[in-house]
């Protein structure tokens, strides 16, 4: 087994930001939304968010339009985009998995343990992907915006 294959390429924070951006884009079938506007709503750094959005576009989750009237929008219905789709596109590295593997040394026992840890963390990742496959951006959007409308209604009372 190749231990290097067990390491993802993006920070776990990207996953949370990506999900939030996709939920915003799913609201009322947003036609286009610039990254600066998304970053403001998420209180996130625009450059980092653009990197995340570019990765999602390369993964066929988003469409992009450049220029003054450009922006991002969902490439398909929010109800068909699973959280696992987003996770796989981002190839998120799990700090727990990375932390476990980093404890193994370069001596023969450590090399064997790293191989074992890779198998274990691969199984953990499969389990995570299985769980994420059960949920869609549409479901998150419904929950997020129904909570938002309840808060607005409570403020009116």
Mean pLDDT of 20-29: 88
Average pLDDT value for the chain: 84
Integer CA distances (angstroms), 34 to 7, 17, 51, 81, in order: 31, 15, 13, 20
Q: Which CATH number fits domain 9-156: 1.10.10.1100, 3.20.10.10, 1.10.10.10, 1.10.3720.10?
A: 1.10.10.10
Alpha-carbon distance 30 to 42, whole Å? 16
Residue-level length of the chain: 157
pTM over 0.75: yes
Mean pLDDT of 92-112: 80
- Evaluate if residue 115 carries a pLDDT over 50: yes
Look at residue 100 and give its three-state secondary structure: helix
Residue 35: name the closest of 58, 15, 57 by CA.
57
Look at residue 92 and give its three-state secondary structure: strand
Tokens of 58: 């390369």
Q: What band does 66 get if pLDDT is binned at 50, 70 and 90?
A: confident
């Amino acid at each position: 087994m190749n231990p290097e294959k067990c390491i993802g390429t993006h920070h776990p924070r990207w996953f949370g930001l990506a999900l939030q951006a996709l939920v915003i884009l799913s609201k009322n079938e947003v036609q286009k939304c610039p990254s600066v506007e998304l970053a403001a709503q998420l209180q996130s750094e625009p450059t980092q968010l653009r990197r995340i959005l570019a990765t999602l576009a390369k993964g066929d989750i988003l469409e992009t339009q450049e220029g003054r009237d450009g922006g991002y929008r969902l490439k398909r219905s929010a109800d068909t985009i699973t959280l696992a789709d987003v996770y796989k596109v981002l190839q998120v590295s799990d700090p727990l998995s990375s932390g476990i593997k980093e404890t193994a040394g370069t001596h023969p026992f450590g090399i064997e343990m790293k191989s074992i840890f890779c198998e274990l963390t691969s199984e953990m990742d499969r389990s995570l992907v299985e769980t994420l496959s059960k949920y869609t951006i549409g479901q998150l959007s419904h929950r997020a915006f129904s909570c938002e409308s309840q808060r607005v209604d409570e403020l009116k009372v």
